[in-house]
Amino acid sequence: MKLIRLPALSDNYIWLLCDENKHCVIIDPAESQPVIDILAASQLIPVAILLTHHHHDHVGGVAGLLKQHPKLPVYGPEETQSKGATHIVHENDLIETGHFSFQVIALPGHTLGHIAFYQAPYLFCGDTLFSAGCGRLFEGTAEQMFSSLGKIASLPDETLICCAHEYTAANMEFALAVLPENQTIRDYYKKIIALREKDQATVPTTLKKEKKINVFLNCHDIDLQKNIGIKPNSIPLYSVFQQLRAYKDRF
Ligand SMILES: [Zn+2]
């Protein structure tokens, strides 16, 4: 398998996963032109589009791609039906096409219908988990999002987190504000700043790395709880998450 990361719009990534026969699936096409260009340049044959949720910067390229490839199946949650999805999928569904086999994982929180597509080691998780961050709560509750992040955290450590935005530098600044003494976070922050200065991408990341540097996966951390003004272990972890997410929204 070959993973291709296409920058799109201001800070989106469109992902393509390709097999050895040059068949590929396209995940969250924010726009069509960069995809059309790479399909032509690399002589790739698209076999499916996968949509994680209904936001425009994830589905904006569907119509343009279908114009060129009218029979291309588009898999997505119910909320993407009006955005071009032709096959509605649910938790635990398997999408099997060619050499691909994706498991659908329901991840409500950022939107209510948000899903991820998992084919080990690749996880296409849209706007749920970012490197060093997580998506905003536009539709779901903090409890739902916390549980969705827990589902991701239960996958193998070597899982490749293919998220849909380049937000890592800003997220690491927040991580430093929350855990200023954490040496792993301090070191990783420097690495990310150096990468971004050279205009290089910081994703995909691994679940193993995220468990170390992503504060939203570390709500159980006593220092984190203290630093955001919570008496350690005095409230449920999803409430810690809720306060942490609210703090990030104001940050
Ligand atoms: Zn979104």
Taking only the tens place, the pLDDT of each residue in 102-117 is 999 999 999 999 999 9
pLDDT for 98 equals 86
Task: Look over the chain and give the mean of its residue pLDDT values, rounded to a whole number.
Answer: 98
Domains 1-90 and 107-250 fall in the same CATH topology: yes
**CA of 53 relative to ligand 1 center, distance in Å:** 7
Q: Where are the domains of the chain?
A: 1-90, 107-250
Angle between helix 183-197 and helix 168-178 axes, rounded to 10 deg: 160
pLDDT tens-digit series, residues 181-193: 999 999 999 999 9
The structure tokens 């790479």 sit at 38
* Amino acid sitting at position 205: T
**CA of 222 relative to ligand 1 center, distance in Å:** 30
Residue 102 bridge partners (DSSP): 95
- The reply, when asked if residue 57 is annotated as ligand binding, is yes
Q: Rounded CA gap, 137 and 199, in Å? A: 29
Check whether 130 has a pLDDT greater than 90: yes
Q: Would you name the residues annotated as active-site residues?
A: 53, 55, 57-58, 110, 127, 165
**CA of 122 relative to ligand 1 center, distance in Å:** 19
- The token duo for 52 is 């994680």
Check whether 96 has a pLDDT greater than 90: yes
User: Is domain 1-90 in CATH 1.10.1760.20, yes or no?
Assistant: no
Architecture of domain 107-250: 4-Layer Sandwich (3.60)
